[in-house]
């Protein structure tokens, strides 16, 4: 059970930090698509007898690069949608080839927080540190391209390269946390707390800190209630995320007498 | 000639009832999603389209658990989600992005709940997974009238609102200035999209319904700038992808490795993707040729004519 708390904490910290930038850049679709599509890679890996996490990583990175490439030549949301469905289509193909391993793959959809082996904790922590380090290095150009893309372009900041770097960070975060909380959950944990934090405070540093705190609170509460009720963790994370954001919006609207910006 | 036909269509293709049903339902769904999808792409709501499909699968699972037809559960919850997305989303694209994300997250949480309940209450491998991935060959004949009726109704509603929808999609400010009820049109459109996605999900599965709602319309918009033309072309491309996918899936029955055929949804998605890339390549070549023509006409080039500004799709 201790492993569960440690894993949940690590995942929440990564989600809180990465999620802040996801919400800022309006990249919720990409944050959903990359982990979701990566699931297809896990199915393929199981098919050829390789560790599913490796397959997950390959598809996550491939998906990130693919979305970046398609997005350059066409609409961004179209690129994301098509990359996502292609990866999922491949996943469906791989799944159809190997019926006996289906159960292991389905657990990737919703995660196994309540059963994390000890040897997975170190890689999760390592890759989490790598994500946060990458974001720290990219912080200034990332903020500039997110908030004022014209100014960034005028200053010669390569928006494409920053975008690719950011997508790769999302892919990295997804790869390590997806096996723990599942493909469909990682995304909720990235959006809910960060969106709530963003509507409560203007300062980026406060927002990141608040986002991490909210993510931790969400995950701890969800794990605790899930443990008591035997209902899936994902259900509580998704619901808490939506409720906390709704609550934050209502609260700031009452305080300022008008709808709060996101 | 016979040999060519035998090579293309595995034996029994034209005689099979399931194939007939698949071809008819597939074509109807492709036409509806193609038309609806053109506006989805223009409005930049591909995420919402995908989200509605996944949230709908929670409703479909719930309906199935309760003994009802999944299609109605799917559509019910998708429509509720559409309303929520519009209410929470306001007008800023990033706010809409977050709202869609949160509704999707909550919906997926519900889906997790139902998958769990379904797995513990019965020994089936999971109706949710079937809803997520679907099977065109398993469409029941009884659903065909409902599917056709819903498709026709959706297309009629869109035809009635066509001008208002087009204007508010291209420029919401201009539409508002001209008295178009932009908010109401927005909600109505999301509801139509919920219905279209539900129909598509019933046939090729929730996750891959996104492919038909986004792919053929985006391809069509790359090939033609006129929205009316795009509606038709999107439908045709969708039908082509679905029918070709059915043929390939049927032919693949004896292919390695498993000997029970490759999923039709895989073929449809792969074809949709290939058509999109092909359209991109064609427009790229056409643009390059146009640029070369401008460059070799020195008089015109000197006057500083800009490249034809078309919205990249």
Distances (CA, A) of B262 to A203, A249, B21: 52, 47, 19
Number of domains observed in the structure of chain B: 1
Top mean-pLDDT range of B72-81, B232-241, B262-271: B232-241
Q: Which residues contact A3 (CB under 8 A, 6 or more apart)?
A: A116, A117, A118, A121
Domain carrying residue B217: 2-302
Contact with chain B for residue A81, Cβ under 8 A: yes
pLDDT at B304: 52
Number of A:B CB contacts under 8 A?
A: 182
Q: Evaluate if residue B48 carries a pLDDT over 50.
A: yes
Quick: pLDDT tens for B143-167: 788 888 988 999 999 999 898 889 8
Structural domains counted in chain A: 1
Q: Does the residue B229 lie in any domain?
A: yes
In angstroms, what is the C-alpha Rg of chain B?
A: 21
> Does residue B309 belong to any structural domain of this protein?
no
Q: What CATH number is given to the structural domain containing B36?
A: 1.10.3470.10
For residues B300 and B294, the answer to whether their CB atoms sit within 8 Å is yes
Are A125 and A10 contacting, i.e. CB atoms less than 8 angstroms apart? Answer: yes
Chain A: nearest CA to B2, how far in angstroms? 31
| Residue A260 belongs to some domain of the structure | no
Q: Across all residues in chain B, what is the average pLDDT?
A: 81
Omega prior to A261 cis, within 30 of 0: no
Could you tell me which residues come within 8 angstroms of residue B294 by beta carbon, excluding any fewer than 6 positions away? B300, B301, B305, B307
Question: Tell me, what CATH number does A81's domain have?
Answer: 1.10.3470.10
B284 within a domain of the structure (yes/no): yes
Q: Which residues of A touch B102 (CB under 8 A)?
A: 191-192, 195, 241-242, 245
- Contact call for residues A36 and A88 (beta carbons, < 8 A): yes
The answer as to whether B23 is a domain residue is yes
Per-residue confidence (pLDDT) for residue A162, from 0 to 100 = 87
Percent of chain B at pLDDT above 70?
82
10-residue averages of pLDDT along chain A (262 residues): 82 91 90 88 85 87 92 88 92 77 62 67 83 88 83 80 89 81 79 89 89 93 86 82 83 68 54
Instruction: Name the residue range of residue A119's domain.
Output: 2-184
Any domain includes A79 = yes
Surface of A (195-234) touching B: CB under 8 A? 195, 231-232, 234
- The number of CA neighbours under 13 Å toward the Cβ of A237 is 32
State the pLDDT confidence band at B4, using cuts at 50, 70 and 90. confident
Predicted confidence (pLDDT) per residue in B113-137, tens digit: 777 776 655 544 455 556 666 666 6
Contact A85 B103 (CB under 8 A): no
Residue A225 located in a structural domain = no
Q: If we measure between CA atoms, which residue out of B130, B161, B140 comes closest to residue B39?
A: B161
Q: Has residue B98 been placed in a domain?
A: yes
Helix, strand, coil abundance in chain A, percent, nearest 5: 85, 0, 15
Tell me the mean pLDDT in the region B76-91: 80
- The answer to whether residue A222 is domain-embedded is no
Residue A252 lies in a domain: no
Give the least confident one: A160-164, A249-253, B203-207, B285-289. B203-207
pLDDT of residue A168: 92
Q: How high is the pLDDT of residue A261? A: 55
Cβ distance B273 to A82 less than 8 Å, yes or no, reads yes
In a domain, B118, yes or no: yes
Pairwise CB contact (< 8 Å): A78 & B47: no
Does B312 map to a domain?
no
Q: How confident is the model at residue B309 (pLDDT cuts 50, 70, 90)?
A: very low
Contact (CB<8Å) A78/B112: no
């Amino acid at each position: 059970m201790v492993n569960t708390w440690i894993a949940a904490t690590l995942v929440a910290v990564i989600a809180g930090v990465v999620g802040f930038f996801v919400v800022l850049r309006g990249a919720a679709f990409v944050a959903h698509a990359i982990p979701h599509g990566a699931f297809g890679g896990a199915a393929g890996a199981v098919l050829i007898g390789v560790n599913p996490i490796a397959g997950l990583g390959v598809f996550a990175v491939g998906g990130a690069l693919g979305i970046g490439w398609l997005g350059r030549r066409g609409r961004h949301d179209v690129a994301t949608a098509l990359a996502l469905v292609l990866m999922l289509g491949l996943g469906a193909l791989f799944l159809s080839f190997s019926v006996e391993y289906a159960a292991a793959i389905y657990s990737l959809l919703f995660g196994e927080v309540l059963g994390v082996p000890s040897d997975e904790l170190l890689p999760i922590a390592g890759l989490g540190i790598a994500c946060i380090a990458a974001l720290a290095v990219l912080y200034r150009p990332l903020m500039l391209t997110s908030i004022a893309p014209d100014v960034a372009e005028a200053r010669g900041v390569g928006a494409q390269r920053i975008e690719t770097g950011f997508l790769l960070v999302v892919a990295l975060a997804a790869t390590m946390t997806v096996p723990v909380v599942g493909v469909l959950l990682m995304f909720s944990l990235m959006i809910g707390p960060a969106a709530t934090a963003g509507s409560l405070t203007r300062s980026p540093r406060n927002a990141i800190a608040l986002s991490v705190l909210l993510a931790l609170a969400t995950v701890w509460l969800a794990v605790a209630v899930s443990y008591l009720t035997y209902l899936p963790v994902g259900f509580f994370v998704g619901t808490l995320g939506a409720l906390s954001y709704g609550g934050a919006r209502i609260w700031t609207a009452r305080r300022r007498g008008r709808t709060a910006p996101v | 000639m016979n040999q060519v036909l035998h090579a293309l269509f595995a034996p029994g293709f034209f005689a099979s009832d399931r194939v007939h049903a698949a071809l008819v339902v597939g074509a109807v769904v492709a036409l509806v999603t193609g038309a609806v999808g053109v506006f989805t792409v223009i409005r930049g709501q591909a995420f919402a389209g995908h989200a509605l499909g996944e949230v709908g699968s929670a409703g479909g699972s719930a309906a199935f658990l309760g003994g009802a037809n999944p299609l109605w559960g799917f559509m019910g919850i998708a429509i509720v989600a559409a309303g929520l997305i519009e209410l929470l989303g306001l007008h800023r694209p990033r706010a809409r992005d977050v709202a869609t994300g949160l509704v999707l997250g909550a919906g997926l949480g519900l889906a997790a709940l139902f998958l769990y309940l379904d797995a513990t209450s019965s020994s089936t491998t999971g109706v949710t997974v079937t809803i997520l991935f679907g099977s065109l060959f398993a469409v029941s004949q009884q659903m065909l009238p409902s599917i056709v009726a819903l498709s026709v109704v959706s297309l009629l509603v869109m035809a009635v609102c066509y001008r208002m929808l087009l204007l508010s999609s291209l420029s919401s400010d201009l539409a508002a200035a001209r008295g178009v009820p932009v908010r109401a049109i927005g909600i109505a459109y999301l509801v139509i999209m919920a219905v279209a996605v539900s129909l598509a999900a019933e046939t090729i599965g929730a996750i891959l319904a996104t492919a038909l709602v986004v792919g053929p319309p985006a391809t069509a918009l790359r090939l033609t700038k006129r929205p009316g033309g795009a509606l038709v072309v999107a439908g045709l491309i969708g039908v082509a992808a679905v029918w070709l996918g059915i043929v390939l899936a049927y032919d693949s029955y004896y292919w390695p490795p498993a000997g029970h055929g490759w999923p039709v949804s895989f073929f449809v998605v792969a074809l949709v993707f290939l058509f999109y890339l092909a359209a991109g390549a064609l427009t790229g070549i056409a643009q390059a040729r146009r640029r070369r023509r401008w460059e070799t006409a020195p008089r015109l080039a000197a006057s500083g004519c800009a490249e034809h500004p078309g919205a990249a799709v």
